[in-house]
Amino acid sequence: MFISFYNILANTNDAIEVKNEKQMLKELESRKKNLVEQLKRLNKQNSDLELSVEGLNEKKRKVERELVEVMDRLTQLNYLLKK
């Protein structure tokens, strides 16, 4: 689902590339929002006991790992855009 972060590093001087960086930033922010919503739903399911504890914890771990990756990419991209 992610656009490779390293794709934006190849041509940082192009105006088109800046547009792509801004677009990527928006996509990452959107993905972050979706992941946070998924975590909220999983926590609600936990309180409603709709899933087994093991299944719920596995799903939460996957979402949390992806959220950490998105946050890392957002931080890197924000740093590059401010340079």
| pLDDT at residue 36, rounded to an integer | 94
Q: How far is CA 69 from CA 4, 5, 43, 52, 54, in A?
A: 12, 11, 20, 26, 23
Q: Which residues of the chain have pLDDT under 50?
A: 1-16
Residue 68, pLDDT score? 95
Report how many domains make up the chain.
1
- Reduce the DSSP state of residue 4 to 3 states and report it: coil
Please report whether residue 13 resides in a domain.
no
Q: What is the pTM of this model?
A: 0.65
Please check whether residue 34 lies inside any domain of the structure: no
Give the domain range for residue 62.
Answer: 53-83
Task: Assess if residue 81 is contained within a domain.
Answer: yes
pLDDT of residue 7: 46
The answer to whether residue 82 sits within a structural domain is: yes
